[in-house]
Amino acid sequence: MKARVIAVAWWLLVAAALLLAPLALRDRLPDPLATHWGAAGSAPDGSSSFTGHLITVEILWTALWLVMFVLGRRGRHLRAARVTSWSCLIGLGVLLLGVNASTLAVNLDAATWHDALLPGWHVPAALGATVVAMAVAGYAGRGPADEPSAPVQAPPRLKLRRGQRAVWVSRVVNRWLLAAVVLIGAGTVVAATLQLGGIAPEIPLPGILPGAVILLLAGLASMAVSVTVSDTGIRIGFGPFGWPARKIALSAVESAWAEERHPADSGGWGFRGLPGNATIMLRGGECLVLRYRSGGRLAISIDDAERGASLVNALIAERVRT
């Protein structure tokens, strides 16, 4: 309840500042305003009318706030979710305030929008203020530490007969990431072909390529996860080819269970958290949770997790302790 009041108050505060500051300075601002600066230099390359700018900024802030507010309502009981939610909510507000303050400052007393030159320190200053605000908001909103969640019910068990070899294989694919990887890959190939073929030599290929390759590799590694449980241990394979892989010895695991978890609980999609309380989150829903003997835990979003957990427990009981 208190969190909601603070979030709404923050929305009002930022919305009011974004509205009132330009109105107060209206007499000293050109119309249209310079609102966009190119990557190349300090001269503006885009403008917008005074009213249009006000409306755009207010809509942008409200939309971002709504998304953060709705997303932030899930997983409030988890510290990682609270930290993410507060730092995003406050950080985005500070970013918009910073950008708006910079826009007003450069437009102030300019004859036309073409004269609104952007000093080089404005963008780093706005980003720096955002990062600081995110850190402070995340720290202030972290709340009490998570209670160590004991498995809700007894961990599932499975009976293994003597002389039986049992394995469990499962995988999960994030279709959105798969689509993104295909798009990035196709885009890179098209851009490279156009540039190298001399059709569009203005494409800055050396500038694009490293970023595209990093995005592709990161996307490939996190679009699919496969987990194999057998008497040789637990193997977590990343990417469509199950490589690179991480192996966990059965003797390092204390117990396993299946749990419903969502990206909001762990702070988003992808590889989340720190060693000791990490989550491999490709989609919300069923997760396999392993608790290490050292006390840490690892959660992996995967289909058919209940059966996998039961085999892990059976293997630990019969192959490790005896």
Partner 1 sequence: MLLTLDLNDARPLHEQVAGAIRRAIGEGSYRPGDRLPPARDLAAALGINPNTVLRALRELRDEGLLEFRRGRGVSVAGRADGRALLAQRARELLEEAKKYGYSRDDLITILEDLT
Which one of 165, 197, 206, 275 is in contact with partner 1 (CB under 8 A)?
165
In contact, 32 and 47? CB cutoff 8 Å: yes
Which one of 166, 205, 215, 216 is in contact with partner 1 (CB under 8 A)?
166
Which one of 242, 268, 270, 284 is in contact with partner 1 (CB under 8 A)?
242
In contact, 309 and 156? CB cutoff 8 Å: yes
Residue closer to partner 1, measured from CB, 74 or 171: 171
Q: Burial, 20: exposed, middle or buried (Cβ in 10 Å; 0-12, 13-18, 19+)?
A: exposed
Residue closer to partner 1, measured from CB, 14 or 221: 221
Applying CB under 8 A, the span of 3-11, 43-51, 112-120, 153-161 interacting with partner 1 comes to 153-161
Q: How far is CA 234 from the centre of its chain?
A: 27
Question: What is the Cα–Cα distance from 294 to 94, expressed in whole angstroms?
Answer: 40
Residue closer to partner 1, measured from CB, 81 or 311: 311
Considering the complex, what minimum distance in angstroms separates the CB of residue 298 from partner 1?
Answer: 19
Considering the complex, what minimum distance in angstroms separates the CB of residue 251 from partner 1?
Answer: 19
Which one of 169, 182, 186, 200 is in contact with partner 1 (CB under 8 A)?
169
In contact, 50 and 31? CB cutoff 8 Å: yes
Which one of 27, 111, 153, 164 is in contact with partner 1 (CB under 8 A)?
164
Q: Which residues pair with 9 in a beta bridge?
A: none
Residues 6 or more apart whose CB falls under 8 angstroms from that of 180 comprise: 219
Question: What is the Cα–Cα distance from 7 to 89, expressed in whole angstroms?
Answer: 8
What is the crossing angle of helices 175-196 and 205-223, to 10°?
Answer: 160
Which one of 73, 79, 171, 262 is in contact with partner 1 (CB under 8 A)?
171
Which one of 170, 174, 255, 279 is in contact with partner 1 (CB under 8 A)?
170
Applying the rule CB under 8 A, the residues between 194 and 233 that interact with partner 1 are 226, 228-230
Residue closer to partner 1, measured from CB, 79 or 307: 307
Residue closer to partner 1, measured from CB, 47 or 170: 170
Considering the complex, what minimum distance in angstroms separates the CB of residue 114 from partner 1?
Answer: 54
Question: What is the Cα–Cα distance from 162 to 250, expressed in whole angstroms?
Answer: 18
Question: What is the Cα–Cα distance from 212 to 188, expressed in whole angstroms?
Answer: 7
In contact, 208 and 195? CB cutoff 8 Å: no
Applying the rule CB under 8 A, the residues between 254 and 313 that interact with partner 1 are 304, 307-308, 310-311
Number of residues that bind partner 1 (CB under 8 A): 23
Residue closer to partner 1, measured from CB, 91 or 308: 308
Considering the complex, what minimum distance in angstroms separates the CB of residue 244 from partner 1?
Answer: 15
In contact, 146 and 255? CB cutoff 8 Å: no
Which one of 144, 148, 163, 275 is in contact with partner 1 (CB under 8 A)?
163
In contact, 292 and 253? CB cutoff 8 Å: yes
Q: Is 179 in the site for partner 1 (CB under 8 A)?
A: no
In contact, 272 and 278? CB cutoff 8 Å: yes
Considering the complex, what minimum distance in angstroms separates the CB of residue 226 from partner 1?
Answer: 6
Query: Phi then psi for 290, rounded to 5 degrees?
Result: -110, 130
Nearest to 56 by CA among 35, 39, 42, 71: 35
Enumerate binding residues for partner 1 (CB under 8 A): 158, 160-161, 163-171, 226, 228-230, 237, 242, 304, 307-308, 310-311
